[in-house]
């Protein structure tokens, strides 16, 4: 059986990023090469401060990289050559976000929070809210539609955030430390749910984390250290999680 | 998105109420104080409204109606002799400190009018007849005088009652509806000759000559003729208007604006309204924006353009602006009705005041929104991943 090459969600070549200038210049990414494939849940792991969030931001199009970087292509579109306005539109169209601290708007109901990405795209409120209700059902919050985030537990809030990240059916979902604000039990529950609803053959999920408990949810793990990708592991039936990754990272 | 922006605004009840309260305060202070100021200014021209005549001729140096710089008795005839003048009549107008029979002193605004033509008689008589002013000791008083006399002697004061002005008898033959005077004294009409008896004797007593043009001659043209031929000052009496220098109302109001501290003190209050409004609004709105920075950042990361976020802030700011303005104007109206009813305190709101105050309020909101926009425009979407 001939193997078809998996579709690339993101392709990074020789990506450099530094902050500050002159004497206080700090090079955070040092020539990163990375492929993110559709259908995968890719985790970007590594010690705190090694540049995971920075790399994630560059792939999400919320941060530019240094002059002289090689390539940042997301779904075939060259982010390096894109204007700010175009990247903003691109994000609205193709990327779903999940943040560490949920970032739900406290004065809006769950339905309203979840409908935000569709409203940003300019969809009518009726349509957006109908779709938001569907996705809230999917994440098991059908009975919490009208609640405000403050009335929900942390795990429930992150499920609302998952619904928000999925509502516009983006092809790339970006998560930064999605379980860091949750306890072990809720973290696992949320990840189980997330894996069920988010994994899809034509969608890529990229998760930055240093929470080793959720590593088993990945089928690809990229280890970073000091601004570089140092290891790449495909996890499947034949390739279990390597021993040294089971213990996680400590700051 | 704009609907959500409003929900975010209304959801933050404390800040929302603070913003609205600040703008209500600013609206009320600015609208109410300018109306009281305009009311006070309109009181300065009360005599011109109570003593109707198209043209007022006064001594050449006189700039305002409450200033008396007497004319010569012969000046009435000189004005009459101007071709374009249809009629001219003498007016005595003086603020008198009069002694009433119980020994109390009161301020009155005494008006003496020509007994043959009754030119300058009250515009509206509520009781009595003008003609009765020809009877001995006859006077016409206004509502305010009725009220004051009644409170002084108890019981009701009516036509036919007698009181004293400076030891001389005054018999009420009519009650007039008048515009309240600047001094707060009531208006009392009598004949020109009798006014001279009531008033402490002076060498010259003719305060003004009122006149009207012949049919076919414009008021302004007639006034110009009078000015040229008599070398006296001749003003029109058409009501305050910007730029109408020939109008006695206009020139009286400007005289008070130039020569008294009234505009300054009202100006200070209006400025305080503005400053407090802008301070509360900017400060509250800015902290509202700061509080939502995290969420605005998330919206930006999720693909909301800076322009969309600006529209959201503008919608929020102008919404509180309109609500605050509406409530502020409502309070102003609540203040206005009793004031207009009692003619105290002065209240007159020119049509320009509500739109002008609205303009100022929207300006305040615009500035507040701009502060937020300035913060949001500098917001990096990547910030959303940082704690
Ligand atoms: N905007 C910034 N300005 C200056 N330094 C930054 C900025 N963002 C990140 N850094 C630095 O880059 C390094 C990597 O940060 P980050 O990508 O957040 O690491 P990680 O997510 O792996 O913990 C850190 O040393 C951090 O201090
Ligand atoms: Mg990080």
Report pLDDT digits (tens) over A11-53: 999 999 999 888 888 999 999 999 999 999 999 999 889 999 9
Q: Is A52 in the pocket of ligand 1 (CB under 6 A)?
A: yes
Whether the CA torsion A222, A225, A231, A236 is positive or negative: it is: negative
- Complex ipTM: 0.91
Indicate which atom in ligand 1 lies nearest the CA of residue A19: 4
pLDDT at A247 > cutoff 80? no
Architecture of the domain delimited by A39-63+83-245: 3-Layer(aba) Sandwich (3.40)
pLDDT score for B387: 60
CA distance B341 to A81: 72
Before B274, cis peptide (omega within 30)? no
pLDDT band at A251 (very low <50, low <70, confident <90, very high): very low
Tell me which residue of B24, B1, B26, B47 sits closest to B252, measured CA to CA. Answer: B47
Mutate one of B3, B10, B302 to test the A interface: name it (highest A CB count within 10 A). B302
pLDDT at B75 > cutoff 70? yes
pLDDT score for B325: 96
**3 state SS for chain A:** CCCCCCCEEEEEEEEEEEECCHHHCEEEEEEEEEEEECCCEEEEECCCCCCHHHHHHHHHCCCCCCCCCCEEEECCEECCCCCHHHHHHHHHHHEEEECCCCCCCCCCCHHHHHHHHHHHCCCCHHHHHHHHHHHHHHCCCCCCCCCCHHHCCHHHHHHHHHHHHHCCCCCEEEEECCCCCCCHHHHHHHHHHHHHHHCCCCCEEEEEECCHHHHHHCCEEEEEECCEEEEEEECECCECCCHHHCCCCCC
The mean pLDDT value of chain B amounts to 91
pLDDT score for A158: 93
pLDDT band at A3 (very low <50, low <70, confident <90, very high): low
pLDDT at B281 > cutoff 80? yes
B356-to-A74, A83, B326 alpha-carbon distances in Å: 53, 43, 14
C-beta atoms of B385 and A56 within 8 A? yes
pLDDT score for A6: 62
Who among B8, B295, B303 is closest to A91 (CB)?
Answer: B303
Indicate which atom in ligand 1 lies nearest the CA of residue B380: 1
pLDDT band at B341 (very low <50, low <70, confident <90, very high): confident
pLDDT at A2 > cutoff 60? no
Domain boundaries, chain A: 39-63+83-245
Mean per-residue pLDDT, B357-364: 95
C-beta atoms of A107 and B12 within 8 A? yes
pLDDT score for B102: 76
Contact B332, B32 (CB under 8 A): yes
């Amino acid at each position: 059986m001939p193997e078809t090459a998996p579709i690339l969600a993101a392709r990074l070549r020789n990506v450099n990023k530094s902050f500050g200038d002159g004497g206080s210049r700090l090079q955070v990414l040092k020539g990163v090469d990375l492929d993110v494939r559709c259908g995968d849940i890719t985790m970007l792991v590594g010690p705190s401060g090694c540049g995971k969030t920075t790399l994630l931001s560059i792939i999400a199009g919320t941060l530019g990289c240094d002059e002289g970087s090689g390539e940042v292509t997301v779904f075939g579109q060259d982010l390096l050559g894109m204007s700010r306005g175009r990247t903003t539109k691109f994000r609205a169209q193709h990327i779903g976000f999940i943040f560490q601290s949920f970032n739900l708007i406290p004065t809006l109901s769950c339905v309203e929070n979840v409908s935000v990405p569709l409203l940003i795209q300019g969809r009518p409120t009726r349509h957006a809210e109908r779709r938001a209700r569907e996705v809230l059902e999917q994440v098991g919050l059908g009975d919490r539609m009208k609640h405000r985030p403050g009335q929900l537990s942390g795990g429930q809030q992150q499920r609302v955030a998952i619904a928000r990240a999925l509502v516009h059916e983006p092809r790339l979902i970006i998560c930064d430390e999605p379980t860091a604000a949750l306890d072990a039990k809720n973290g696992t529950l949320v990840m189980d749910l997330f894996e069920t609803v988010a994994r899809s053959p034509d969608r890529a999920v990229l998760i930055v984390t240093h929470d080793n408990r959720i590593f088993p949810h990945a089928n690809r793990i990229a280890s970073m250290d000091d601004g570089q990708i140092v290891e790449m592991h495909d996890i499947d039936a034949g390739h279990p999680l390597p021993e040294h990754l089971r213990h996680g990272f400590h700051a | 998105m704009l609907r959500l922006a409003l929900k975010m605004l209304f959801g933050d009840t404390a800040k929302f109420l603070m913003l609205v309260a600040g703008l209500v305060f600013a609206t009320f202070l600015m609208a109410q104080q300018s109306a009281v100021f305009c009311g006070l200014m309109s009181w300065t021209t009360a005599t011109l409204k109570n003593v109707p005549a198209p043209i007022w001729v006064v001594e050449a140096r006189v700039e305002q109606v409450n200033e008396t710089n007497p004319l010569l008795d012969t000046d009435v005839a000189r004005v009459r002799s101007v071709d374009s003048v249809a009629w001219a009549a003498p007016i005595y107008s003086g603020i008198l400190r009069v002694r009433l029979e119980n020994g109390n002193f009161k301020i009155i605004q005494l008006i003496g009018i020509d007994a043959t033509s009754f030119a300058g008689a009250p515009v509206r008589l509520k009781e009595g007849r003008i003609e009765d002013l020809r009877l001995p000791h006859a006077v016409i008083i206004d509502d305010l005088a009725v009220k004051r006399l009644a409170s002084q002697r108890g019981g009701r004061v009516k036509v036919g009652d007698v009181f004293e002005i400076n030891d001389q008898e005054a018999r009420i033959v009519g009650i007039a509806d008048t515009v309240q005077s600047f001094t707060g004294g009531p208006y009392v009409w009598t004949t020109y000759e009798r006014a001279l008896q009531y008033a402490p004797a002076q060498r010259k007593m003719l305060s003004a000559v009122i006149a009207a043009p012949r049919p076919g001659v414009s008021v302004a043209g007639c006034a110009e003729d009078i000015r040229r031929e008599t070398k006296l000052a001749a003003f029109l009496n058409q009501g305050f208007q910007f730029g109408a220098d020939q109008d006695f109302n206009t020139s009286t109001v400007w005289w008070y604006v130039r020569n008294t501290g009234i505009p300054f003190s009202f100006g200070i209050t209006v400025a305080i309204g503005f400053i407090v409004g802008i301070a509360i609004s900017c400060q509250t709105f800015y902290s509202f924006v700061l509080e939502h920075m995290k969420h605005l950042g998330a919206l930006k990361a999720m693909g909301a353009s800076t322009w969309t976020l600006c529209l959201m802030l503008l919608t929020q700011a102008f919404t509180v602006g309109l609500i605050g303005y509406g409530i502020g104007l409502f309070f102003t109206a609540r203040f206005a009705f009793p004031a207009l009813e009692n003619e105290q305190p002065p209240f007159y709101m020119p049509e320009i005041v509500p739109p002008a105050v609205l303009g100022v309020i929207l300006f305040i909101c615009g500035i507040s929104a701009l502060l937020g926009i300035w913060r949001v425009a500098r917001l990096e979407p990547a910030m959303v991943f940082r704690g």
